[in-house]
């Protein structure tokens, strides 16, 4: 029941345009995607790590299905768990040069009560 005058997305933009709650995770919209072919790339299960207090960079690590070694990366644009997940999910090129499909297997958020 939206008014039809709402052409450009309208007043929903509250600062972060990419924060659409309806966006399906199967829909790859990451900036690193270079092909739109419906190819199924090998899946890499990512562990996502929250930054320590005073730090702001989320990072992730996974075992590469191509080369069998570990790769890691940083998510410098991420500001919280939600943006970090959105930034990491999707098709990427790994350090060994192959494309893979990253999915978040677990998130290490830290425990604020333990941070001294």
The CB-based long-range contact list for 69-75 (8 Å cut-off, 24+ gap) reads 69/96, 71/95, 71/96
Write down the least CB distance from residue 3 to Zn ion, Å. Answer: 49
Find the binder of Zn ion among 58, 86, 94, 102 (CB under 5 A): 94
Angle 108-109-114 from CA coordinates, rounded to 5°: 110
Write down the least CB distance from residue 61 to Zn ion, Å. Answer: 12
Find the binder of Zn ion among 67, 70, 72, 77 (CB under 5 A): 67
Find the binder of Zn ion among 47, 51, 57, 64 (CB under 5 A): 64
Query: Does residue 96 interact with Zn ion by CB under 5 A?
Result: yes
**Residue with nearest beta carbon to Zn ion:** 64
Q: At 84, which helix (H) or strand (E)?
A: helix 81-88
Q: Is 26 left (phi over 0), alpha (psi -120 to 50) or beta?
A: alpha
Q: Under the rule (CB under 5 A), what is the footprint of Zn ion?
A: 64, 66-67, 94, 96
């Amino acid at each position: 029941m939206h008014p039809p005058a709402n052409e450009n997305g309208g007043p929903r933009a509250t600062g972060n345009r990419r924060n659409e709650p309806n966006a399906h995770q199967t829909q790859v919209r990451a900036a690193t995607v270079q092909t739109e072919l419906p190819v199924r790339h090998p899946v890499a299960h990512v562990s996502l790590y929250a930054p320590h207090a005073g730090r702001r960079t989320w990072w992730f690590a996974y075992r590469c299905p191509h080369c069998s070694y570990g790769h890691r990366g940083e998510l410098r644009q991420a500001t919280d768990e939600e943006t970090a997940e959105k930034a990491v999910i999707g098709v990427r090129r790994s350090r060994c040069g192959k494309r893979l499909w990253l999915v978040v297997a677990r998130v290490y958020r830290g425990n604020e009560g333990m941070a001294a």
